[in-house]
Amino acid sequence: MRNSTQEKLILASSSPRRRDLLAKAGIVPDSIIPADIDEQALDKEAPKNTAQRLAVQKALKVWEDSPKDSFVLAADTLVEVRGNELPKAETLDQAIHCLKELSGRRHHVYGGMAVVDPSGKITKRLVTTSVHFKELDDAEIQTYLDSGEWEGKAGGYAVQGLAECYIKKISGSYSNIVGLSLYDTLDMLRRAGYLKS
């Protein structure tokens, strides 16, 4: 992919998975500047709305503090099961909770995405992927906990690792589950004017 302008691209995320996904498409951000914002959901806010709102806030926060010759790309990934948002698993107890909630059920992965162009115009999009987990027995849950792959992951799992063995069906973007829908990212960067068609 070729940049159609002399402007730079800033990725407003420290996620190595998002960097790797962009690299697959031949895109290397000029800068990586994680956005420092409050990522808590608002009262009674639906998870999909939280994901979209946070992506926009992250992009704008970084854009406001950056040189105005830059495009800013931001994203936020949330997992919802039975109408409830699952946490980004930071502790063993959170990981156990997530895996038990996911076991035998369909859930949604919401990828909020936002691009701010040098003029401040926002392009935003929400990508939804449906994922169906098999029913997990205690041994499978323990194996996954022992893998450590759950650490810091939305919903307590990483689809690109061992968890893929537990997934019966995916409807929608696979890369959205990893952290950034590549199709939608490239389309948004074209529409915003960063990439040539």
Q: Tokens standing for 192?
A: 């915003």
* CB contact burial 66-77 (16+ within 10 A = b; e otherwise): beeebbbbbbbb
> Is there a contact between 180 and 18 (Cβ–Cβ < 8 Å)?
yes
Which letter does DSSP use for residue 82 in this model? T
Which letter does DSSP use for residue 193 in this model? T
* CA–CA gap between residue 105 and residue 40 (Å, rounded): 25
Q: Active-site residue 76, yes or no?
A: yes
* Catalytic, out of 36, 76, 137, 146: 76
Q: Tokens standing for 86?
A: 């699952």
How does DSSP assign 24-39, residue by residue? HTT---SEE-------
Number of other CB atoms surrounding residue 171 within 10 Å: 11
* Greatest C-alpha distance within the chain: 54
* CA–CA gap between residue 116 and residue 178 (Å, rounded): 22
Q: Which of 51, 176, 179, 197 is nearest to 124 (CA)?
A: 51
Catalytic site residues? 76
